[in-house]
């Protein structure tokens, strides 16, 4: 974990400003990401958490300019990476940055790796896209990269196909591909969800080690707060396309403010009571076509909802230095009576 003091002074590596991303559903665009702003500092690990359908993946696809063409679009806002406005770039320009300065790993490595090409071919493809190197150099680099992500016998694995590897090894290969050009920012979307618990821990350790060695920033998308506690410096909690709370990781666990965050924390399963605890947030995230037009989008599931929560949209306000919350309970400088 980077020290907070050193991070505070630095200019952001990534600035997302008032981002609105929408999808065309039957001829109407609906916002899946709604007026979201946040920064990622160099070497910082920022977690994005929230239940399924909260807009975590759409946000990362927006940053990577990988939204499905003709269906999804960035409607407004800015995505500034290392001083460059990504949303204003042509496809050719973004291709030079994607995979080199910013790269991404996904939940299911089998769907991201091409089954008909060897591991070596897929690693070398990234290298050739962004570097001027010979075939022999690329092969050697591919082997070194596989070794750096903890794959034993990389000289053999380099000539194998994805189906010949275990899930954990495939995810290591995906990480090797993602870090091949030493990106400044890695977006990891549920990188360990498809893996069993022991392998999950190994992959998280690997990511952390790479982050430290390469001085890389990471946006870590997860619904697992255990992963957040283990990995992140800062955390963004999303609900129904909006940020509801943003703070450092310690404050998130010891002093959460938004009722949604508290409920998510309450939903962390203990071994013996997994089923009950996970279902402890009543109701579901509204679909894009069913978003409340006004008010707090969490109001109808919120145990602390007041009548005005259904009519007034809360703003993301500072409740403390570096701690923002979008909840009417905190819209005055002091929490209202009875709010802890």
Ligand X SMILES: Nc1ncnc2c1ncn2[C@@H]1O[C@H](COP(=O)(O)OP(=O)(O)OP(=O)(O)O)[C@@H](O)[C@H]1O
| Token output for 290 | 């069913």
Tokens 């404050």 — which residue? Answer: 251
Asked whether 70 and 24 are in contact (CB, 8 A), the reply is: yes
Residue 193 C-beta: closest distance to ligand X, Å: 9
Residue 285 C-beta: closest distance to ligand X, Å: 7
Name, in order, each residue with C-beta under 8 angstroms of 196's C-beta and a sequence gap of 6 or more. 167, 168
Q: Which of 54, 151, 169, 220 binds ligand X (CB under 6 A)?
A: 54
Between the CA of residue 247 and those of 47, 168, 188, 212, what are the distances in Å?
10, 31, 19, 22
First to last CA, the chain: 28
| 190-229: contacts with ligand X (CB under 6 A) | 223
Segment interacting with ligand X (CB under 6 A) among 66-74, 110-118, 175-183, 294-302: 66-74
Task: Tell me the site size for ligand X, rule CB under 6 A.
Answer: 17
Residue 287 or 311: which CB sits closer to ligand X? 287
Tell me if 65 contacts ligand X by CB under 6 A: no
| 105-144: contacts with ligand X (CB under 6 A) | none
Q: Which of 44, 57, 200, 247 binds ligand X (CB under 6 A)?
A: 57
Query: How many C-beta atoms surround the C-beta of residue 94 within 10 A?
Result: 17
Buried b / exposed e across 293-331, counting CB within 10 Å, b at 16+? eebbbbbebbebbeeebeeebbebeebeeebbbbbbbbb
Residue 45 C-beta: closest distance to ligand X, Å: 18
Tell me if 288 contacts ligand X by CB under 6 A: yes
| Secondary structure (DSSP) of 237-263 | EEETTEEEEEEEHHHHHHS--SHHHHH
Tell me if 332 contacts ligand X by CB under 6 A: no
Asked whether 118 and 161 are in contact (CB, 8 A), the reply is: yes
Element (H or E) spanning 169, and its range?
helix 167-179
Tell me if 287 contacts ligand X by CB under 6 A: yes
Residue 54 or 142: which CB sits closer to ligand X? 54
Asked whether 194 and 167 are in contact (CB, 8 A), the reply is: yes
Q: Which of 8, 11, 18, 68 binds ligand X (CB under 6 A)?
A: 68
Residue 29 C-beta: closest distance to ligand X, Å: 10
Q: Which of 42, 53, 191, 314 binds ligand X (CB under 6 A)?
A: 53
Segment interacting with ligand X (CB under 6 A) among 45-53, 80-88, 122-130, 167-175: 45-53
Q: Which of 45, 58, 173, 175 binds ligand X (CB under 6 A)?
A: 58
* Residues in contact with ligand X by the rule CB under 6 A: 23, 25, 32, 50, 52-58, 68, 71-72, 223, 287-288
């Amino acid at each position: 974990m980077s020290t907070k003091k050193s991070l505070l002074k630095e200019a952001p590596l990534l600035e997302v400003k008032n981002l609105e991303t929408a999808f065309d559903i039957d001829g109407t665009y609906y916002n899946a990401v709604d007026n979201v702003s946040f920064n990622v500092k160099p070497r910082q690990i920022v977690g994005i958490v929230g239940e399924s359908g909260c807009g975590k993946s759409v946000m990362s696809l927006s940053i990577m300019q990988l939204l499905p063409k003709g269906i999804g679009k960035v409607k407004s806002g800015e995505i500034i990476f290392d001083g460059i406005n990504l949303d204003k770039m042509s496809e050719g320009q973004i291709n030079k940055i994607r995979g080199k300065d910013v790269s991404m790993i996904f939940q299911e490595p089998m769907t991201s790796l091409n089954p008909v090409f060897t591991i070596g071919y897929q690693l070398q493809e990234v290298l050739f896209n962004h570097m001027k190197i010979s075939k022999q150099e690329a092969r050697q680099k591919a082997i070194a990269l596989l070794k750096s992500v903890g794959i034993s016998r990389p000289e053999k694995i380099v000539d194998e196909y994805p189906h010949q590897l275990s899930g954990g090894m495939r995810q290591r290969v995906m990480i090797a591909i993602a870090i091949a050009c030493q990106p400044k920012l890695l977006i990891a979307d549920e990188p360990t969800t498809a893996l069993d618990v022991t392998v999950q821990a190994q992959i998280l350790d690997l990511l952390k080690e790479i982050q430290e060695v390469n001085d890389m920033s990471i946006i870590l998308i997860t619904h697992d707060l255990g992963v957040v506690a283990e990995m992140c410096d800062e955390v963004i909690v999303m609900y129904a396309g909006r940020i509801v709370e943003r703070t450092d990781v310690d404050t998130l666990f010891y002093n959460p403010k938004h009722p949604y965050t508290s409920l998510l924390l309450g939903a962390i399963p203990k071994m013996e009571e997994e089923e009950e605890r996970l279902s402890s947030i009543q109701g579901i995230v509204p679909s894009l076509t069913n978003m409340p037009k006004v008010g707090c989008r969490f109001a109808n599931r919120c145990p602390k909802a007041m009548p005005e929560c259904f009519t007034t949209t809360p703003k993301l306000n500072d409740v403390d230095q570096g701690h923002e919350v979008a909840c009417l309970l905190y819209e005055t400088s002091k929490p209202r009576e009875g709010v802890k």
